[in-house]
Amino acid sequence: MVILTDVLGVLLDVHLLLVIVASAIYGLVLGAIPGLTALMATALLVPVVMFMEPVPAIAAIITSSAMAIFAGDIPGALMRMPGTPASAAYTDDAYSLTRDGKAGLSLGAGLFSSVLGGLLSALVLTLAAPNLAELALQFSSVEYFWLTVLGLSCATFVGGSSLLKGVAALLFGLGLSTIGMDPVSGTPRFTFGVTNLLGGLGLIPLLIGVFAISELLRTVTLPATGERQARPAVGSISAGMGRLMWHHRFEVLRGSTLGTLVGALPGAGADIAAWIAYAVTRRSQKGKDPNAVEQKVQRIVSAGAANNASLGGAYIPATVFGIPGDAITAIVISVMFLKGLNPGPTIFLNNPTAIYSIFAIFFVANILMIPLGILCIRTFGLILKVPRTYLTPIILLFCIVGAFSVENTLFAVGIIAIVGLLGYFMEANDIPMAPAVLGLILGPVIEQTFMTSMLKSGGEVSVFFDRPLAIALAVATLGSWALAGVLKLVDAAKARPVLT
C-alpha cells in the first residue's frame, strides 16, 4: 500500500504528465502517417530520452509506442495504407467497412480494442511479470523453433482464396529473408558483393514498400472520377462501443492473451502478434461468411487488441531479466541501465516505486488513448479533405523519410521503390501479401533456431524432441497441421456432391 501512494505521488507530477501528453501526440501523429513506424518513433526519441529522468524517459517511450501502434489503424481504415506494419493484418477488413460507410464502427472497434488490449496486458505485467518471465527462461532454441513453425502455419489462414498461391507467397517471403548474412555462420548470401545487402533488405523498408508504395501505385492509376467516393464520413466513434466490446469480449480476451504472450517472447513484436490473433480468429470463424460485418469486426477487435497487448508483454522479460522482446524494449533497457535503474528481479525489491510507476504508465497511457485517439481520428478525417493529388507526393516523401530514418542508408530508400513495384504486381496477380510478410519476419528466426539446434546436437534431429517443453510444442504444431489437413479433406468430401 505504501508503494501505491508512492506510485501515485510519482504519477501526479506535472512534468511527467506533460511528457506523457506530448509523447502521446507525437506517437499518434507518427503512427497515423503511412511510412512512419512505431519503431521509428522510438528510435528518434533516443537522443531526447537518454538524458532525461528515468521514469519520464520510459514514460515517453511507452506512451508514444502504444499510441503509434493504435494510430496505425487510422490510415489503414481510411486509405487502405496501414500507418504501421502492426495494423497491416486487418487493413483490408477495416477499409472494406469504411467503404460500406461504417468507418466509425471500424475505427471505434480498433480504438477500444487497442485500449482494452493495452490495459489487460498492463494488468498481467503488473501482477505476474516475474512468473511469466520465469516461463520465458525455459525456452531454448529448440522451443523457439517449434513456436516459430507454429506461427508460420498461420500463413494458411491469412492467405486469401488460393492456398497454393499463399504457400508460394510464403516461400517467396522466406526466400527474400535469406538475402544478407546467414544468421549462423555469417556467410554472405545473394549479396553479389554489395555491402548494403549484407544486412538484408531491411524489414521496415520492405514493409513500407509492400504496404504504402504499392498502394500509392494503385492510387495514382485509379481513374480520377473515383476521388469523390474516397472521402468517408467517420460518424460517431464511441457510440455503442461499450456494448460492442462486451459482445466481442472473447475476441478481446483472445487477442490480449495472444498479444501479451507473443510480445513476451524475444524476437516477435506487435506485427506478428496481430497476424497470429487475426489468423486464430479467422480460423474460429469456420463455416461463417468471412465477409460479414460481424466477422470483420471480430477480426479487427482481436488483432487490434493483440498488437497493443504485445507492447506490454515485451516489458515482462525486459524488466525482469533485462532481455529485450523487440527493438523498442532494447532501447528501453539501455535507457534503464543508463539511469542506474538496472532491470532484473532485484528491481522489484530495490526500486519498487520506479518499476511500478513504469507499469502504471501503461494504464495512464491506454486510458488517455480514448480521448486523444478520437481527436486524432477526427483530425485525420480533415486531412483526407486535402485533394488526393497533393496527398500522394506528401505520403511518398514520408515513406522516403521513414525508410531512411530507420536504416540511415539511401539503399533503403531504393528498396521501397523496388518492393513497392513487386507488391503491386503480386496483388494484381492474386498472390496474397500476408503470407509473404509472415515469411519475411519469421524466416530468419526459423533458420537461426534450426541451425543453432543442429549445431548444438552435432546434426542429430532428435534434439528437437528431447526436452519436455519441446515435445509439447512439437505435438501442438504437428497436431494443428494434421487437423488442418483433415478438415480440408472433410470439406472437400462435403463440397464434392454439391459441385457435381
Query: Residues 33-72 vs another protein: string with x where CB under 8 A?
Result: ----------xx-xx--xx---------------------
Q: Which is nearer to another protein, 200 or 255 (CB)?
A: 200
- Among the residue ranges 361-369, 370-378, 415-423, 473-481, the one whose residues contact another protein (CB under 8 A): 415-423
Among 126, 284, 295, 334, binds another protein (CB under 8 A): 334
* Residue 295 near residue 273 (C-beta atoms within 8 A): no
First to last CA, the chain: 71
Say how far apart CA 169 and CA 175 lie, in whole Å: 10
Residue with cell 520510459: 58
Does 492 participate in binding another protein (rule CB under 8 A)? no
Residue 232 is given by DSSP the state -
Minimum separation from the CB atom of position 137 to another protein (A): 5
Among 277, 396, 433, 440, binds another protein (CB under 8 A): 396
Say how far apart CA 10 and CA 353 lie, in whole Å: 8
Minimum separation from the CB atom of position 277 to another protein (A): 24
Q: How many residues at the interface with another protein, by CB under 8 A?
A: 107
The closest alpha carbon to 13, from 340, 335, 250, 360, belongs to 360
Query: Residues 171-210 vs another protein: string with x where CB under 8 A?
Result: xx-xx--x-xxxxxxxxxxx----xx-xxx-x--------
Residues 293-322 that bind another protein (CB under 8 A): 320-322
Q: Which is nearer to another protein, 43 or 230 (CB)?
A: 43
Half-sphere CA count of 223, side-chain side, radius 13 A: 3
Q: Which amino acid is at 440?
A: L
Q: Which amino acid is at 32?
A: A
Query: Residues 347-366 vs another protein: string with x where CB under 8 A?
Result: --------------------
Contacts of 152 (CB under 8 A, 6+ apart): 170, 438, 439, 442, 446
Say how far apart CA 276 and CA 306 lie, in whole Å: 9
The beta strands (E) that lie in 177-285 are given as 180-181, 188-189
Half-sphere CA count of 259, side-chain side, radius 13 A: 37
Does 137 participate in binding another protein (rule CB under 8 A)? yes
Does 465 participate in binding another protein (rule CB under 8 A)? no
Rg of the chain in Å (alpha carbons): 22
Q: Which is nearer to another protein, 119 or 396 (CB)?
A: 396
Q: Quick one: cell of 458?
A: 552435432
Residues 211-270 that bind another protein (CB under 8 A): 213, 216-217, 220-223, 266-267
Minimum separation from the CB atom of position 43 to another protein (A): 5
Does 135 participate in binding another protein (rule CB under 8 A)? no
Q: CA dihedral defined by 373, 378, 384, 386, rounded to 10 degrees?
A: -120
Among 150, 451, 471, 484, binds another protein (CB under 8 A): 451
Q: Which is nearer to another protein, 185 or 229 (CB)?
A: 185
- Among the residue ranges 5-13, 282-290, 354-362, 447-455, the one whose residues contact another protein (CB under 8 A): 447-455
